[in-house]
């Protein structure tokens, strides 16, 4: 078998439907299978998949295991040459899957490759990044990437790939679409399930590179990415989970001091956002509901970041 596709789902019924429809409408040339791991959804996702896509295998979980654990479950005992980790809010374009497979076939040292992701407004998602450094995390938390100061501090968080027309080697690729070579997975092992949501793809890319595998961005393969399909209602939990995952990453790869620094940086980012929201709320005399909600959001974010990591029920779309 050439390919096993792993899709972890949590309450993305309509997005998952469109994702699966696009896969079967634009399949690769060789034999493939799809495994959907459902993290205890309550929106009838499982029934929909079994009814409309009986050729897909569904693993229905009793609890939300998280993204890394869900993918590990889907890829357990995989015998296909390649494994595609795919978000449920992705729509595959014609030829994309075969293009990724052919790239891997002709680049035996490649451990992972990813497609060009197109956002709903037609823009190209920033889906490649240099290896994380604390200065890049500072730039993200302090808005330096938003005001373009990060460029002058060598702290860009993402690489601009809009003008890229040929495959390039990168340090990390978005976990929304990662085609992984089975031998590379076997060399590194499963994803670290300590990352419940976010940074597991960053960690995995680093581990593969440490084993000598390369990672590539293949712009000829294109897919649409809705991004954040059902996560807005739990934004505070998502931000806090992202911060906790960053702490885990820096502690794991750069030591306890770096982990502590990442924790403080995440808290500082929350305090900065709370401060800005509070000033704007006071300036508008509290009459604008959006700013009042922002104050509540970032106050809760800070509190959740201070607390030990907890498994949120937020959906993973990044």
pLDDT tens for the chain, 318 residues long, are 999 999 999 999 999 999 999 999 999 999 999 999 999 999 999 999 999 999 999 999 999 999 999 999 999 999 999 999 999 999 999 999 999 999 999 999 999 999 999 999 999 999 998 888 898 888 888 877 666 655 655 556 677 888 899 999 999 999 999 999 999 999 999 999 999 889 999 999 999 999 999 999 999 999 999 876 544 346 888 889 999 999 999 999 999 999 999 999 999 999 999 999 999 999 999 999 999 999 999 999 999 999 888 664 444 443
Q: How far apart are CA 24 and CA 26, in angstroms?
A: 5
Q: What is the predicted pLDDT for the residue at 233?
A: 46
Q: What does each C-alpha distance from 131 to 136, 199, 203 come to in angstroms? A: 9, 11, 10
Q: What is the predicted pLDDT for the residue at 222?
A: 98
Q: What is the predicted pLDDT for the residue at 248?
A: 96
- Write out the two tokens for 161: 């790939």
Write the DSSP string, the chain. Answer: --EEEEEEESS-HHHHHHHHHHHHHS--SS-EEEEEEE-S-SSSHHHHHHHH-TTSEEEE-SS---HHHHHHHHTTT--SSEEEEEETTEEEPTTHHHHHHHHHHH-TTEEEEEEEEE-TTSPBP--EEPPP-HHHHHHHHTTTTTTT-GGGGT--SSB--TT--S-EEESEE-TTEEEEEHHHHHHH-S--TT-SSSSHHHHHHHHHHHTT-EEEEEEEEEEEE--STT-GGGHHHHHHHHHHHHHHHHHHHH-HHHHHHHHHHHHHHHHHHHHHHHHHHHHTTT--HHHHHHHHHHHHHHHHHHSPP---------
CATH 1.10.10.60 describes domain 3-126+161-225:
no
What residue segments make up the domains of the chain, in order of their start?
3-126+161-225, 132-158, 232-306
Total-model pTM:
0.89
Sign of CA dihedral 272, 275, 277, 279: negative
Query: pLDDT tens-digit profile of 170-192?
Result: 999 999 999 999 999 999 999 99
Q: What is the predicted pLDDT for the residue at 317?
A: 40
φ and ψ of 75, to 5 deg:
-100, 5
**Contact between residue 32 and residue 4 where contact means Cβ atoms under 8 Å apart:** yes
Q: What angle do CA 163, 84, 19 make, to 5 degrees?
A: 80
Q: What is the predicted pLDDT for the residue at 312?
A: 45
Q: What angle do CA 309, 310, 313 make, to 5 degrees?
A: 135
């Amino acid at each position: 078998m050439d390919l096993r596709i792993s899709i972890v789902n949590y309450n993305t019924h309509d997005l998952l439907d469109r994702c699966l429809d696009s896969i079967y409408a634009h399949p690769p040339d060789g034999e493939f299978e799809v495994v959907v791991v459902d993290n205890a959804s309550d929106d009838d996702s499982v029934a929909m998949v079994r009814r409309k896509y009986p050729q897909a295998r569904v693993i229905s979980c009793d609890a939300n295991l998280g993204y890394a654990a869900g993918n590990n479950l889907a890829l357990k005992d995989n015998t296909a040459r390649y494994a595609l980790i795919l978000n449920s809010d992705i729509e595959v374009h014609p030829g994309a899957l075969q293009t990724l497979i052919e790239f891997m076939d002709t680049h035996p040292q490649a451990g992972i490759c990813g497609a060009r992701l197109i956002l709903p407004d037609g823009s190209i998602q920033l889906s490649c990044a240099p290896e994380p450094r604390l200065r890049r995390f500072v730039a993200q938390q302090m808005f330096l990437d938003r005001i373009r100061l990060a460029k002058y501090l060598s702290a860009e968080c993402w690489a601009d790939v809009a003008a890229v027309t040929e495959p390039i080697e990168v340090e990390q690729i978005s976990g929304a679409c990662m085609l992984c070579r089975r031998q590379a997975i076997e060399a590194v092992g499963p994803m670290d399930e300590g990352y419940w949501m976010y940074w597991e793809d960053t960690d995995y890319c680093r581990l593969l590179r440490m084993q000598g595998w390369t990672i590539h961005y293949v712009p000829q393969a294109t897919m649409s990415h809705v991004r954040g399909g059902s996560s807005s209602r739990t934004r505070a939990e998502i931000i806090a989970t992202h911060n906790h995952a960053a702490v885990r990453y820096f502690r794991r790869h750069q030591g306890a001091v770096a982990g502590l620094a990442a924790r403080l940086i995440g808290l500082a980012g929350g305090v900065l956002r709370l401060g800005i929201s509070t000033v704007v709320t006071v300036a508008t005399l509290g009459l604008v509901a959006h700013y009042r909600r922002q104050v509540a959001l970032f106050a809760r974010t800070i509190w959740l970041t201070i607390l030990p990591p907890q498994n949120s029920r937020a959906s993973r779309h990044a």
